[in-house]
Amino acid sequence: MKSIVLVVLALAVLAQADRDLSKFTPKHITVRPKRPAPIPRIVGGQEANRHQFPHQCALFIDGGSFCGCSVIDSKTILTAAHCVDGARSVEVVCGAHNIRQEESTQQVRKSSDLKVHEGWDSWQIINDVALIHLSEPLELNDQVQPIDLYGGSDTLDGQQATVSGWGRPSDSSSGISDVLRHVSNDIISNKVCESYYGSLPESVVCLNGQGGRGSCNGDSGGPLIHDNLDGGKKEVGVVSFGSAFGCAIGYPSAYSRVSHFLSWINQNRKA
């Protein structure tokens, strides 16, 4: 892979917002692809229905950065290593739709400790997964639910998956989305993805960026979901990196492959 650029974009201050996000930077790792950039297009996707993704949570890191994450049990949150690497403490907000407001369905929890994968390498962008252990369990209900993790051997190439988050809704946006959004596209083979980014490990899964649809700054650490695996919804990826040319230009977005890390996740869950 080519040189890595961490995108740092200050969030705009929103007047009359209940939750002030002006000090939080939406995290995302970008890689300069091998291919030239096509004509930019607006990021696809749409606003989620309220609590359509009850596993989705927001992550506020050290009072300065913003990421996505997902509930995997009442005490454990799954996210990307690059979101919490070096962090002292994080705050997790679950059950939210409009993240700038303090809704009655929201549950806010502090971390008791953070577990970054021992093999995380920020230069090569490998083993980009981490767990957050909560100081107090979440109350599981219709608005806050754990997501099952996919542990199968299928590469899932050609199958549709959905990524959700509060990340920037377009490359021209100055900050994250107020409301939770989602977008679907097809999973592509690593061979196809390598034609953009160079050599990739098996622990990465890529989502087609066709139509300018994919993840962006602030979505890092969030879930990539397949709607029907083994009879139900499963998390198959964790948002890891995208193109340095922009989120909406049609390049693939890359995710840590959950099945590759399932043993590590289960070994390090909150007891």
pLDDT in tens, 98-108: 999 999 999 99
* pLDDT tens-digit series, residues 41-76: 224 578 999 999 999 999 999 877 899 999 999 999
Whether residue 12 has pLDDT greater than 50: no
Active site residue 189: no
Candidate from 184-193, 198-207, 215-224 with smallest mean pLDDT: 215-224
- pLDDT number for residue 95: 98
* Confidence band for 11, pLDDT divided at 50, 70 and 90: very low
Phi, psi of 40, deg, nearest 5:
-60, 150
Report which of residues 88 and 10 the model is more confident about: 88
Whether residue 5 has pLDDT greater than 60: no
CB-based contact 87:80 (threshold 8 Å):
no
- pLDDT number for residue 250: 83
* Confidence band for 246, pLDDT divided at 50, 70 and 90: confident
- Catalytic residue from among 55, 65, 111, 128: 128
Q: Maximum CA pair distance of the chain?
A: 49
Per-residue DSSP letter, 194: H
Which string of DSSP letters, residue by residue, matches 3-35? -EEE---PPPPPTT-SS--TT-EEP-EEE--SS
* Confidence band for 38, pLDDT divided at 50, 70 and 90: very low
- Catalytic residue from among 65, 111, 220, 243: 220
* Confidence band for 244, pLDDT divided at 50, 70 and 90: confident
User: Of all helices (H) and strands (E), which one includes residue 68?
Assistant: strand 65-73
Tokens of 246: 């922009």
Active site residue 82: yes
CB-based contact 263:176 (threshold 8 Å):
no
* Confidence band for 2, pLDDT divided at 50, 70 and 90: very low
Query: What CA–CA distance (Å, rounded) separates 59 from 186?
Result: 26
Proportion of the chain above pLDDT 70, given as a percent: 80
Q: 3.40.1280.10, 2.140.10.30, 2.40.10.10, 1.10.760.10: which CATH number matches 41-48+148-259?
A: 2.40.10.10
At the second CATH level, the architecture of 56-146+262-267 is Beta Barrel (2.40)
Candidate from 90-94, 133-137, 166-170, 251-255 with smallest mean pLDDT: 166-170
Whether residue 265 has pLDDT greater than 70: yes
- Catalytic residue from among 28, 65, 70, 82: 82
* Confidence band for 242, pLDDT divided at 50, 70 and 90: confident
Q: What is the model's pTM?
A: 0.85
* Confidence band for 170, pLDDT divided at 50, 70 and 90: low
CATH 2.40.10.10 range(s) for the chain read 41-48+148-259, 56-146+262-267
- pLDDT number for residue 247: 75
| Residue whose C-alpha is closest to residue 209's, from 13, 61, 40 | 40
- pLDDT number for residue 33: 53
Active site residue 182: no
